[in-house]
Structure 1
């Protein structure tokens, strides 16, 4: 909810979303608190509500494995991907690039130890506004996509990725400098832009509310192993194409789809799970199966 008057005291604000149980149909609820938040130059009121909800019925939907990637946002084991376009248009990207170059020039002209100038502060605010636009579009897509997935599938299997470790810098040290630093920096930005952790966080509470389950399985080897014959060879994957190196198999297809099937088949080696306990036990008991 965007606030019109951020000063202390009474102020008006514009409703931008209904409050569950308060401003729309469903179980009656009440507002238990609120806080004022400033994001990218705009003020927002965030309300906390309380309402009674019935216990979820166990979800009877199928099980699916999901591989999170860069070229393909979400690859599902049933072969149906979930993709999105760029968060910023070409014009918006160019505008952001110009603002970042402008801020660099203004920082270079700033006298060390002097307060930040109003012009530089204004440039920073414009950069923050552009980045906030991209984030809002990303979160909107993630909410819509995870809602659809939680409503369709009873058990969602994902990799237990250590995203913080994956995003570490490759610059190294003076004695041992890193390799392909620029390429690694670009990969880190792409991983950060996809916000893989937020996708799983949204899936966890949405599937739990619908009686489903999110299962995390070990990540190593899912992208290098053929889901059909189980042969593991790093040479089998070439970009987005997977071609099994075992001549007796020779399966070929999209690499991310192959990884998603391996993730689904690894549900018997659960690292952790959130949701319906009965579904968790069923997922643990399920043996690996080929597509």
Structure 2
């Protein structure tokens, strides 16, 4: 048996009074974090301890009335998260924790005890959950959860977190299950090349594409709202507070962008699930997206060139979310019994997959590859050519393995025989 811990997010249906109370709890949790951080940084190092922080939180909840709206368990969860943030900093996994600003912090409230949720299914589409100080709340039932007779010590919901985005409040359940270890996947090998014109190109000739995330009417509405926001922002004086009309316009813009992101995420989940079920070994490039999206602005002494074009390319790369696609492929292939392998990225799009030569000028356009080698002359789709090169690197044994915090190239001792591509 294999222990799995994952999350499931569902949409909540709250009344206006419940929405106002959930907002107050989220602001109280953020303020609790800031107070705890100020207490931690001001206090001498020898007096810092978990017990002293717990006592300070209890005293703050008694003396400050509006902090009492936050449940006691949620306040303890803030303390636990804060100490874990410092532990991650000490171990080199993250930077120092800081203050949480109101406008840049995701509003959330933790429910650490899963037994207090009392989840039940009403019918096929809706379920009910008990939220501390909110009561019984409906949520969208889109996944079978280990509740009722299906719940036991091994398969259960260990907690939840309330999260608010531009589309409203959601509940993210923390689920723990024990499943039988999957059998090794006997599917074929495939190389994947990620791109902008073609999001996913596979070495066997298949492609996974998508259209626009917003309809034509929604795109027109988004453009009109962005122009309206720019006009209202230009009329605002320096130092003047943002008007309610401008805030409402920003909220509508965020709602449309959140809807597009949700559709993109749905497409990614469905596509990566299909690939993980079909193929046993998935080979991808080890892309350094941070370096690829670095600004071309340059410095005052040596300004960059084509800055606007590079900015548009960076936005297109970020919009495709290549890193999230690879993360989903990683855990979904392991769940199906397959493997995900990363190979070095340099040269895969400029090398011919038939003769193996890299000749200048072979990449005639974004979609066409014509080998300029006089002995070859092969022509085909550039994305499929790159995906076949990715798969060929794996068959040669050139894979990347983490070692001492950095990626190194490992060449296998036994090279697999080449197959017809």
SS in 2 for 1:100: helix
Superposed CA RMSD in Å reads 2.4
SS in 1 for 2:399: coil
SS in 1 for 2:173: strand
Provide the C-alpha distance between the structure 1 equivalents of 2:411 and 2:291, rounded to a whole number of angstroms.
Answer: 30
Count of residue correspondences: 285
Larger Rg: 2
**1:257 is the counterpart of 2:381:** no
Counting only pairs closer than 5 Å after superposition, residues 111-150 of structure 1 correspond to structure 2 as: 111-150=237-276
Return the structure number with greater relative CO, CA threshold 8 A, min gap 6.
1
Does the CA-based 8 Å contact 2:146-2:157 persist in structure 1?
A: no
**What residue number does 2:140 align with?**
15
Provide the C-alpha distance between the structure 2 equivalents of 1:177 and 1:95, rounded to a whole number of angstroms.
Answer: 37
Decide which of 302, 321, 324 is 1:176's aligned counterpart.
302
Distance 1:182 1:282, change over 3 A: same
Distance 1:289 1:30, change over 3 A: same
**1:75 is the counterpart of 2:201:** yes
Does the CA-based 8 Å contact 2:163-2:171 persist in structure 1?
A: yes
Distance 1:136 1:186, change over 3 A: same
Shift of 1:234: 3.6
Give the structure-2-normalised TM-score.
0.64
Shift of 1:30: 1.3
Shift of 1:153: 0.4
Larger deviation, residues 207-216 vs 96-105: 96-105
Distance 1:283 1:124, change over 3 A: farther
Does the CA-based 8 Å contact 2:147-2:156 persist in structure 1?
A: yes
SS in 2 for 1:248: coil
Residue by residue, what CA displacement relative to the aligned partner does 1:179-222 show, whole Å, maximum 9, x if unpaired? 11221111111111111111100000000011101100000000
Provide the C-alpha distance between the structure 1 equivalents of 2:269 and 2:312, rounded to a whole number of angstroms.
Answer: 25
**What residue number does 2:311 align with?**
185
Give the structure-1-normalised TM-score.
0.91
Larger deviation, residues 94-103 vs 4-13: 4-13
Counting only pairs closer than 5 Å after superposition, residues 1-291 of structure 1 correspond to structure 2 as: 1-3=10-12, 4=14, 5-6=18-19, 7-8=21-22, 9=133, 10-22=135-147, 29-239=155-365, 240-267=367-394, 268-272=397-401, 285-286=415-416, 289=419, 291=421
- Displaced runs of 4 or more, over 3 A: 19-28, 280-285, 287-290
Does the CA-based 8 Å contact 1:203-1:214 persist in structure 2?
A: yes
Does the CA-based 8 Å contact 1:228-1:290 persist in structure 2?
A: no
Does the CA-based 8 Å contact 2:399-2:411 persist in structure 1?
A: no
Shift of 1:48: 0.8
Does the CA-based 8 Å contact 2:201-2:384 persist in structure 1?
A: yes
Shift of 1:113: 2.1
Shift of 1:26: 11
Provide the C-alpha distance between the structure 2 equivalents of 1:26 and 1:249, rounded to a whole number of angstroms.
Answer: 62
